[in-house]
Amino acid sequence: MDRYLVISSDGHAGLPAAEYREYVDPEFRAAFDAALPIQIAMTKEAEKRFLVGDINAEWRKGREYELTGAWDPTARDKVLDADGVAAEVLFPDGITEMNAPPFGAGFSMGSEGVTADLQWAGCRAHNRWMAEFVQTAPERRIGLACIPLLWDIDLAVEGITWAKENGLGGIILPPMWGSFPGYHDFRYDPVWAACQEMDMPIHFHSGPSPATDYFGAGGLAGGDAIPPGAVGAYVTEVHIWLTRPLTFMLWGGAFERFPKLKVSMTEGTAIWVPEYLALLEQRYAETPYSQKMGDFRSHLSMSPADYFRRNVRIGASCMPRREAELRHEIGVEQIMWGTDYPHPEGSWPNTIEQRYDTFRDLPEDEIEAMVGGNAAAFYGLDTEKLAPIVARIGPERASFGNGGGPA
Amino acid sequence: MDRYLVISSDGHAGLPAAEYREYVDPEFRAAFDAALPIQIAMTKEAEKRFLVGDINAEWRKGREYELTGAWDPTARDKVLDADGVAAEVLFPDGITEMNAPPFGAGFSMGSEGVTADLQWAGCRAHNRWMAEFVQTAPERRIGLACIPLLWDIDLAVEGITWAKENGLGGIILPPMWGSFPGYHDFRYDPVWAACQEMDMPIHFHSGPSPATDYFGAGGLAGGDAIPPGAVGAYVTEVHIWLTRPLTFMLWGGAFERFPKLKVSMTEGTAIWVPEYLALLEQRYAETPYSQKMGDFRSHLSMSPADYFRRNVRIGASCMPRREAELRHEIGVEQIMWGTDYPHPEGSWPNTIEQRYDTFRDLPEDEIEAMVGGNAAAFYGLDTEKLAPIVARIGPERASFGNGGGPA
């Protein structure tokens, strides 16, 4: 094949907030109707205060049709085709933060200010819609189910089973656990077991944070102007909140007990990976520093960095050239390129140029792995079914230069 | 001079818990008497559960006299002399965690489960004792005052003024701020102003963490066995809790408004520095990633990484060879070597061998800076006064090899 199979590890899809209504269980529709105007007002307030509505509005201008790809399959496939993307992973939150599912469902699933019943209702609504959306082009869409596992482990396993049976390709878990036990706790083993058994990769997506630390008591939608420094501190630390659940799973032995468990860390950049692995190795090694803390390694048969290499992949949205240059330190097998469409920080509508800038002149087998091969293996895709799409819209191998770039 | 001036950026000193009584304001002595047995029981429980009492007891055996250097000036100076250390910075918590000051004073100064009055009383007690201790050899001892600034800014400024007037050489601030505003908030400006004006460097010391995240509801002194993975996650993340206050100060513009403010980050290793600086640079640069968050840079005249280079130093306790090899990425001017005496993870009683392993064969001017020159400048020490001590006990330059080591 003279074209690359390209898979985006990070796409976003979701209904405009009001349209989730029909997907919500009937008994929660009254609550939905009450919560909707509040959710919309808070989103607007946050956009005004934090997300800079003007910039977003400007960016969206003239792209109205393509942005409806957040929920419209025809519009979406046009964008995918133009970007040369054969298949993609689908997270919630279609157009930036405007299409969040109801009741705090999404990729944050914070455990404060919401009840388990409501959050589950919001997740079920989104998961139902997502399952329908996937069926509009099942070979191209890897839909993810939102699973707020903190509240009830059995319910989480049920949710994962439902997702598998309804054609979804993986799950999203809350990256922060509030006052619940962290992901080193063995209480989550039934969830890890279900994911391993059904081959459902787990996803943590960057973004959530303890917002009050940065933005004051009101969080993102708080009243006054953003305190100077808040956004800088947030963007410097955002990958921390992404990596914490993985750190706890690695040290707790989740991948020791469930060696085929898969985790993707999405849109947190990949720049932190080499130092993170070095740190895990250092902390796993016997050092005077850790000696006084007793034996904390005997339940692991290998270093946390080894589990990382075996079980973890990076959803490398908006991947810059620098990360391509660091690919051997990060791990070529770890990297799954992605677009983040239709978010404004994503590569669309400049995907082709940005992808060229990132990968130009690298060895073909490495480009092949990073733009799609790794993701196809991770999600167990049927590449035969994708072949006709690749033949039609995949980017030509020759378009990435001469293979003589930096080793 | 054929000997190096050696300054340890990290020493610990403090009374056995019961002996703080006479330093506590009379009106808090009844509370002290009530709290003491609880504090001792919790320390023992934590050592049993977490710090592995047996290992510590074994390590302490045969070193009983040298360990009294935690509070005894004669014993301390013998250890300093043997280690070739002319002067040192003094944090609280003498022998591991056995000598914490009362009422949650120390280098954690957590804001939960304690009142402002009590925590301040504990800090005043420790600061009084430390001021006395410094006077036993003022040229050799850079004593630090504990300043729990969160509760009351004016009280913090008073405390810093008292510390300066009483011969202390810097302050320790709580690295975590609980539900108080973070260190990007302008409310702390009077504290930064006082530190700049009185030339009192600020210290954050590694160790404190949101312990319940790792160890469950009881924290360090909680009931049952430590959950597998808890210690691994803690040692992997501990530098995060150290760097957070600095991240907030950098982005908030503390060093923009107070360009001579000094901060030392102690015992958090230095391995995170190159990647941290790269991250600050990346986040400061205009990127599509941050564009949707508006302008969060206009209150800064340079990159946070530039403030770091100018205003921040690393207290590099137990510095391994790898960090010496990375010294140009970390910054030779940033590194202030330290022993962590008398903690078991410190270099003592193998300081001479460890220091040789770390610095052997490096260029003399770089060794000179890292083992003492940088600290002498940072703390404004009178090196004339130290010269006779150096002549007597300083390590010979020739003992560090031929200067032909890795550039």
C-alpha A315/C-alpha A12 separation (Å) is 13
Chain centroid to CA B304: how far? 21
What DSSP string runs through B72-111? -HHHHHHHHHHHT--EEEEES-SSTTTTPPSTTTTTT--S
Q: Give the pLDDT score at B28.
A: 97
CB spacing of A236 vs B278 below 8 angstroms? no
What DSSP string runs through B19-40? GGGGGS-GGGHHHHHHHHHHHH
CB spacing of A291 vs B237 below 8 angstroms? no
Q: Tell me if B338 sits within 8 A of B283, measured CB to CB.
A: no
Contact residues, A window 281-340, toward B, CB-based 8 Å cutoff: 282-284, 288-294, 296-297, 299-300, 304, 318
pLDDT per residue as tens digits for the range A124-177: 999 999 999 999 999 999 999 999 999 999 999 999 999 999 999 999 999 999
Buried residues in B92-124 as b, exposed as e (16+ CB within 10 A) = bbbbbbbbbbbbbbbbbbbbeebeeebbbbbbb
- Least confident range from A285-289, A382-386, B130-134, B207-211: namely A285-289
What angle do the packed helices A73-83 and A383-393 form, to 10 degrees?
A: 70
Size of interface A-B (CB pairs under 8 A): 190
C-alpha A265/C-alpha A251 separation (Å) is 17
Q: Where are the beta strands (DSSP E) in B178-254?
A: 202-205
Report the candidate in B247, B243, B308, B248 with the shortest Cα–Cα distance to residue B269. Answer: B243
C-alpha B50/C-alpha A296 separation (Å) is 10
pLDDT band with cut points at 50, 70 and 90 for residue A402: confident
pLDDT band with cut points at 50, 70 and 90 for residue A97: low
Residues in B touching A292 (Cβ below 8 Å): 51-52, 55-56, 59, 96, 344-345
**Looking at the DSSP assignment, which residues form a beta bridge with residue A202?**
A171, A263
The whole-number average pLDDT for the span B326-338 is 97
Note whether B229 contacts A: Cβ–Cβ < 8 A: yes
pLDDT per residue as tens digits for the range B67-81: 999 999 999 999 999
Note whether A96 contacts B: Cβ–Cβ < 8 A: yes
Residues in A touching B283 (Cβ below 8 Å): 232, 235-236
The whole-number average pLDDT for the span A280-304 is 80
Whether the pLDDT of residue A188 is over 50: the answer is: yes
C-alpha B168/C-alpha B190 separation (Å) is 19
Of B185, B216, B284, the CB nearest to A227: B185
Of B56, B289, B304, the CB nearest to A232: B304
C-alpha A201/C-alpha A195 separation (Å) is 7
Q: Which amino acid is at A221?
A: A
- Best of A56, A226, A236 to substitute, by most chain B Cβ atoms within 10 angstroms, is A236
- Which DSSP state fits B349? T
Q: Give the pLDDT score at B226.
A: 82
Whether the pLDDT of residue B117 is over 90: the answer is: yes
Report the candidate in A324, A329, A322, A330 with the shortest Cα–Cα distance to residue A362. Answer: A324
Rounded to the nearest integer, the mean pLDDT of chain B is: 92
- B296-302 contact pairs (CB < 8 A, 24+): B296/A226, B296/A228, B296/A229, B296/A230, B296/A231, B296/A232, B296/A235, B296/B251, B297/A232, B299/A228, B299/A229, B299/B253, B299/B256, B300/B251, B300/B253, B300/B256, B301/B256, B302/B256
Q: Give the pLDDT score at B358.
A: 96
Q: Give the pLDDT score at A153.
A: 98
Does the bond joining A342 to the residue before it have cis omega, within 30 degrees of 0? yes
Rounded to the nearest integer, the mean pLDDT of chain A is: 92
Residues in A touching B272 (Cβ below 8 Å): 275, 279
The nearest alpha carbon in chain B to A51 belongs to B293
pLDDT per residue as tens digits for the range B248-290: 999 999 999 999 999 999 988 898 899 899 889 988 986 655 6
Of A59, A237, A290, the CB nearest to B235: A290
Q: Where are the beta strands (DSSP E) in B247-366?
A: 263-266, 312-317, 335-338
The whole-number average pLDDT for the span A256-269 is 96
Q: Tell me if B332 sits within 8 A of B366, measured CB to CB.
A: yes
- Least confident range from A208-212, A359-363, A371-375: namely A208-212
Note whether A189 contacts B: Cβ–Cβ < 8 A: no
Whether the pLDDT of residue B407 is over 60: the answer is: no
Whether the pLDDT of residue A122 is over 50: the answer is: yes
Q: Tell me if A123 sits within 8 A of A69, measured CB to CB.
A: no
Shortest distance between the Cα of A320 and any Cα of chain B, in A, equals 10
Whether the pLDDT of residue B292 is over 80: the answer is: no
More confident residue, A225 or A314: A314
**Sole residue written with tokens 């810059």:** A320
Contact residues, B window 192-211, toward A, CB-based 8 Å cutoff: none
Q: Tell me if B182 sits within 8 A of B188, measured CB to CB.
A: no
The whole-number average pLDDT for the span A224-244 is 91
CB spacing of B50 vs A237 below 8 angstroms? no
CB spacing of B296 vs A232 below 8 angstroms? yes
Joined together, the tokens standing for residue A94 give 């279609």
The whole-number average pLDDT for the span A71-98 is 92
Whether the pLDDT of residue A53 is over 70: the answer is: no
The whole-number average pLDDT for the span B344-352 is 90
Report the candidate in B89, B156, B108, B119 with the shortest Cα–Cα distance to residue B378. Answer: B89
C-alpha B326/C-alpha A290 separation (Å) is 22
CB spacing of B231 vs A182 below 8 angstroms? no
- What structural domains does chain B harbor? 7-400 (3.20.20.140)
- Best of A286, A296, A319 to substitute, by most chain B Cβ atoms within 10 angstroms, is A296
CB spacing of B293 vs A50 below 8 angstroms? yes
Joined together, the tokens standing for residue B83 give 């280690």
The whole-number average pLDDT for the span A184-202 is 97
C-alpha A338/C-alpha A88 separation (Å) is 8
The whole-number average pLDDT for the span A242-271 is 96
- Best of B212, B231, B300 to substitute, by most chain A Cβ atoms within 10 angstroms, is B231
The whole-number average pLDDT for the span B163-189 is 96
- Best of B176, B212, B224, B236 to substitute, by most chain A Cβ atoms within 10 angstroms, is B236
Does the bond joining A259 to the residue before it have cis omega, within 30 degrees of 0? no
Report the candidate in B371, B375, B168, B340 with the shortest Cα–Cα distance to residue B267. Answer: B340
Q: Give the pLDDT score at B223.
A: 67
Residues in A touching B289 (Cβ below 8 Å): 235, 318, 345
Note whether A62 contacts B: Cβ–Cβ < 8 A: no
Of B184, B213, B294, the CB nearest to A233: B184
Q: Tell me if B86 sits within 8 A of B7, measured CB to CB.
A: yes
Q: Give the pLDDT score at B289.
A: 58
Burial of B74 (0-12, 13-18, 19+ CB in 10 A): exposed
For B7, B11, B101, B127, B135, the CA distances from B91, given in Å and listed in that order, are 14, 6, 11, 10, 16
Q: Give the pLDDT score at A163.
A: 98
Note whether B250 contacts A: Cβ–Cβ < 8 A: yes
Q: Tell me if B226 sits within 8 A of B215, measured CB to CB.
A: yes
Q: Give the pLDDT score at B53.
A: 64
C-alpha B233/C-alpha B96 separation (Å) is 21
Shortest distance between the Cα of B291 and any Cα of chain A, in A, equals 7
Q: Give the pLDDT score at B78.
A: 98
Q: Tell me if B25 sits within 8 A of B121, measured CB to CB.
A: yes
CA atoms within 13 A on the CB side of B38: 8
A165's CB contacts (< 8 A; 6+ apart) are: none
CB atoms within 10 A of CB A1: 11
The nearest alpha carbon in chain B to A272 belongs to B275
CB spacing of B232 vs A251 below 8 angstroms? yes
**Looking at the DSSP assignment, which residues form a beta bridge with residue A12?**
A91
CB spacing of B182 vs A233 below 8 angstroms? yes
Q: Tell me if B11 sits within 8 A of B71, measured CB to CB.
A: no
Whether the pLDDT of residue B406 is over 60: the answer is: no
pLDDT band with cut points at 50, 70 and 90 for residue A344: confident
Report the candidate in A388, A308, A286 with the shortest Cα–Cα distance to residue A5. Answer: A388
What DSSP string runs through A121-163? HHHHHHHHHHHHHHTTSTTTEEEEEE--TTS-HHHHHHHHHHH
Task: Please tell me whether the overall predicted TM-score, pTM, comes out greater than 0.90 for this model.
Answer: yes
Q: What percent of chain A has pLDDT over 90?
A: 74
CB spacing of A253 vs B344 below 8 angstroms? no
CB spacing of A284 vs B96 below 8 angstroms? no
**Sole residue written with tokens 């996650």:** B233
CB spacing of A182 vs B213 below 8 angstroms? yes
